[in-house]
Amino acid sequence: MSSHEQHARASAPEGHEPATHAHAHEHHGHSRPASSDHASSGHGEHASSGHAGHRDHAGEFRRLFWGMLVLAVPTVLASGMFAMIVGYELPDVAWLPWVSPVLGTAMFIVGGRPFLVGAVQELRARRPGMMLLIGLAITVAFVASWAASLGIADHELDFWWELALLIAIMLLGHWLEMRSLAQTSSALDSLAALLPDEAERVVAGGTERVAPSDLAVGDVVLVRPGGRVPADGRVVDGEASVDESMITGESRPVRRARGDRVVAGTVATDSSLRVEVDATGDDTALAGIRRLVADAQASSTRAQRLADRAAGWLFWFALVAAVVTAIAWTAAGMPDDAVVRAVTVLVIACPHALGLAIPLVVSIATERAARGGVLVADRLALETMRRVDVVLFDKTGTLTAGEPAVVDVLVAPGGAAPDARRLLALAAAAESESEHPLARAIVRRAEADGIAVPAASGFASSPAVGVTALVDGARVRVGGPHLLAEEGLADEGAAELDGVAPWKDAGAIVLHVLVDGAVGGALRLADEIRPESREAVEALHALGIEVAMVTGDAEAVARQVAGELGIDRVAAGVRPEHKEHEVARLQDEGRTVAFVGDGVNDAPALARADVGLAIGAGTDVAIAAAGVVLASSDPRSVLGVVELSRRSARTMVQNLWWAAGYNLLSVPLAAGVLAPVGFVLPMSVGALLMSASTIVVALNAQLLRRLDLDPARTAARIVGRPATADDRLPAAAGTEAPAAAGTEDEER
């Protein structure tokens, strides 16, 4: 537990102890803390206890601050010392001199309690820090003031007004801190609020309204236009544009139809859907996202541990400075001033800003990333990303779409199909009833090109050969080399088609279309390169980061893709379980490596890398084996992680310098080093400056919220070109550069 978390626990008003993560869950062999409450199954449990705790603390400190401020005003105004400093006379009333002691005592007991309790806990833990400094300062002021009020000590030791200001200001600082921490957790609350209050479960004769927590796997729910999906599942009826921006960070709605997966919390924008539930409660993608964000906010980093140690060092620095100050002023013949100066030193040295400098930056960065579709599961990964000098991409599903697509069409001269559109229409008609991935790719291309697909009959499929159907009275067959052999054409039947041989040499999948036994043309299918991949590689180069690629494809295929994208290094023919060896090879060269994979079979490489980024895992975030999960499939999302890491590091350094520098300058002034020239820093001014330091640190951290993590705009900003409206639009079907399928694609 960090000192910051200890302070929150120590200062928590009675009955509001912050929740801690009580158990761990495992992801592919990696254990990390989780809170079961963060991913609640019911809408009524959306606010997790840990983050509700921050809001409870903020509310308690707000009420405590305003209550103490009401007492502080008369305490200060009735103080004889304050009246003498400001220059006004108090009424000659017998009871007036006791107003400040009585109200000051009430403030010490009530308002000072969180700090005193925290000081005792730090003493017991033998880990001195902020609470011990505050507790020591207000205790010294309290004892000295009573001594002055009872005539035991000099009247100049009347610190009631300073005690009142100190407690009020410290409470204000804690209130601001807790409010800031509560705000950084708002992403979790926003994610929780995505679930609808009710779901419409389809039953015999209609629907019934139930809570999302009452849904079970296998239930079918009706999602009306504008309604939110209550649980993860597959569409069994209907088609709609679904807004998935709250999950993936991409604002453009995605068309979802029968057989497609939808995620809890997403919105069907224009039509109704019937969805068969396949995950509920803690198993949903939304619950996984909330766990990742919560885990990240609970994890620690090197920078935070350094700040915690610095706070401990500052205690001894302040204590020694206070002792030296007291001895020096006493030796100078001013024991009363020695107490004043020593107390002021203890107040000035309070590491409030230092304790806030790192945790607030990391929490805001984590929350900002979550809103941008970047889920930081390990804070150390975010911190390390700024030092990465090579990004290793897995090809399939990362730089490429991960599924076959028709990227070229070749028409046989004098064949039954006069042009490419007719050839595609015949092929799509023959494949329309097939569920094979290649068949679906052909049908998708025809639909994307706006081709009217004629009706087919007599569909038949032969494994490893192809499909056959009657289309417009013609016998149409689509298949690979075995189809040609079965028809007695062998490969010679396609040899007359110029362009097929280079396709084969490049490792592409080639399907032939036969019409009434004659070759009508050929289709080239390949795993398409994502149009965003070029920008991602270009922008990484602009950031001074080398780009490498690992793939199971043959060397020639891999080189073609690498050349198309401008990738620096390629490792081809690598089996999935050996990808981690490529990561280790780069690390052996002294490189800091980020590995970007699909999170399915890349767990060893993701774990081996200095930073593991699982991309396109928006529906599998609950089992992601990476430090960072990119909910979007856009490889440009990696750029946002680099930018956020570098900006966060700069903000941390700025905050540490401000907090530590402030203390190093202020402590000597509080000790009275300029007393020979007539300047001494008043205790009240020191308290005000200390709280001002805290506010500056908090405001500086808030500037991280202005960082734009949109992949398209981030890439455009890095490479120095203006972003356009087309940055978010997908390229037209067939226009993307093909990546040869190689050994990783399924062949027919």
User: Which residues are known catalytic residues?
Assistant: 394
Contact (Cβ atoms closer than 8 angstroms) between residue 548 and residue 648: no
**287, 229, 8: which is closest to 131 by C-alpha?**
8
Beta strands in 518-626 (DSSP E): 518-529, 546-550, 569-571, 593-597, 611-615
Whole-angstrom Cα distance, residue 589 to residue 482?
47
CB burial string 415-435: b at 16+ within 10 A, e below:
bbbeebbbbbbbbbbbbbebe
Q: 667 CB contacts (<8 Å, ≥6 apart)? A: 317, 318, 321, 345, 348, 349
Tokens of 506: 């490049």
- What stretch of H or E contains 469? strand 466-471
For residue 298, give Cα distances in angstroms to 27, 224, 295, 440: 17, 37, 5, 44
Residue 244 backbone dihedrals phi, psi, to 5 degrees: -110, 15
Whole-angstrom Cα distance, residue 737 to residue 554?
18
CB burial string 673-708: b at 16+ within 10 A, e below:
eebeeeebbebbbbbebbbebbbbbbebbbebeebe
Whole-angstrom Cα distance, residue 625 to residue 637?
18
- What stretch of H or E contains 579? helix 579-588
Whole-angstrom Cα distance, residue 709 to residue 639?
8
Residue 626 backbone dihedrals phi, psi, to 5 degrees: -145, 160
Whole-angstrom Cα distance, residue 267 to residue 271?
10
Whole-angstrom Cα distance, residue 548 to residue 154?
75
Whole-angstrom Cα distance, residue 491 to residue 484?
7
Q: 338 CB contacts (<8 Å, ≥6 apart)? A: 325, 326, 327, 328, 329, 330
Query: How many Å from the N-terminal Cα to the C-terminal Cα in the chain?
Result: 56
Whole-angstrom Cα distance, residue 13 to residue 75?
24
For residue 495, give Cα distances in angstroms to 426, 624, 731: 21, 47, 32
CA geometry: angle 190, 193, 195, nearest 5 deg: 130
Specify the pairing of strand 466-471 against strand 474-479: antiparallel
CB burial string 33-49: b at 16+ within 10 A, e below:
ebbebbbbbebeebbbb
Whole-angstrom Cα distance, residue 555 to residue 164?
75
- What stretch of H or E contains 460? strand 456-462
Whole-angstrom Cα distance, residue 656 to residue 307?
8
